[in-house]
Amino acid sequence: MIDPTLGLFVLADGMGGTRGGAYASSIASEHFYRKMRHWLRWRWTRPWQFRPAHVLRTMQQTLLAANTRVYTTASRDPELHGMGTTLVAGILQGQDCLVVAVGDSRLYRSRNGVVEQITRDQTLAERLLSEGFLDADDPRMNRYVHVLTAVIGRKERPEIQHYHVCLQPGDRLLACSDGLSGAVSENCLATALQREEPLGQLANRLVAMANDAGGKDNISLVLIDMLTPQPPRTVPQLEEYRRATATPDQG
């Protein structure tokens, strides 16, 4: 979900079966999107209050409310028990991008041919790696790469990542679900994101790469180009794309 006027984007990837995953991602993304749009429209009339720390705090509070909403909905319907979703969202403010994330949906920044993963995966594999229990080349890592340690839709408060990303003209941002990042290597992503082509064509190319690599999960992605230096209330080009693979099994 995107609002180019406000520089707002939200991407969610659900889990808990086809129905549960789709419902969880819809509830969380729509709640966050609707509340932040309302807040941003009001805040634009008070630019002196539009500080990055304040925006990030509001984004985190809104995401916590979305977590409660998903959990409450699931607790009322036995068929939806256990549903949840990952989520990554951002607000572009001039040359800055303010980001919150939960789970393993990612945000990348491509600059001068180098791709940097901004968010970190909240998975058991990442935790074991960071704490030194496993090495990156340990074959046991594959067992834990899809085991999430934080998710939207649980009774407990999720750990919310937050970032203040500085951008330059020519930068390209990619927000995506693990249907893309789990199938396409970072080197291949870096090569693709350097291509000078319309964002729609690039999105199709990325989806095809994931499918060719044997990806079986749904793919959602948002592409953002920083075209020229942006004054504070002007936003860059944003495009959102959703593609389902031949055998979608997640929301």
Domain assignment of residue 76, yes or no? yes
pTM of the model: 0.86
Query: E strand or H helix at 168, and its extent?
Result: none
In-domain check, residue 8:
yes
For residue 249, pLDDT over 60 is answered with no
Say yes or no to pLDDT of 216 above 80.
no
Q: Are 89 and 10 contacting, i.e. CB atoms less than 8 angstroms apart? A: yes
Closest CA to 110 of 46, 191, 205: 191
Q: Per the domain annotation, does 251 fall within a domain?
A: no
Place of tokens 């969880």: 24
Per-residue pLDDT at 248: 35
How confident is residue 244, by pLDDT bands cut at 50, 70 and 90? very low
Query: Which range marks the domain in which residue 65 is found?
Result: 2-243
3-state secondary structure of 179: helix
CB count, 10 Å around CB of 162?
Answer: 17
- 237 found inside a domain: yes
Per-residue tokens: 42: 């009001």
Element (H, E) at 249: none
Report the pLDDT averaged over residues 12-36. Answer: 89
Encoded tokens for 14 = 């659900």
Average pLDDT score over the chain: 86
Residue 241 pLDDT grade (very low, low, confident, very high; cuts 50, 70, 90): low
Residue 249 is assigned to a structural domain of this protein: no
Total domains present in the chain:
1
CATH number at residue 57: 3.60.40.10
What tens digit of pLDDT does each residue of 113-143 get?
899 999 999 999 888 888 888 777 777 777 8
Residue 99 has pLDDT above 80, yes or no: yes
Q: Count helices and strands (H / E) in the chain.
A: 7, 10
Structure confidence by residue, pLDDT tens digits, 53-95: 999 999 999 999 999 999 999 999 988 888 999 999 999 988 8
221 within 8 A of 204, measured Cβ to Cβ: no
**What per-residue confidence (pLDDT) applies to 161?**
96
Closest CA to 96 of 241, 240, 239, 234: 234
Cα dist. 212→28, 142, 203 in Å?
30, 20, 14
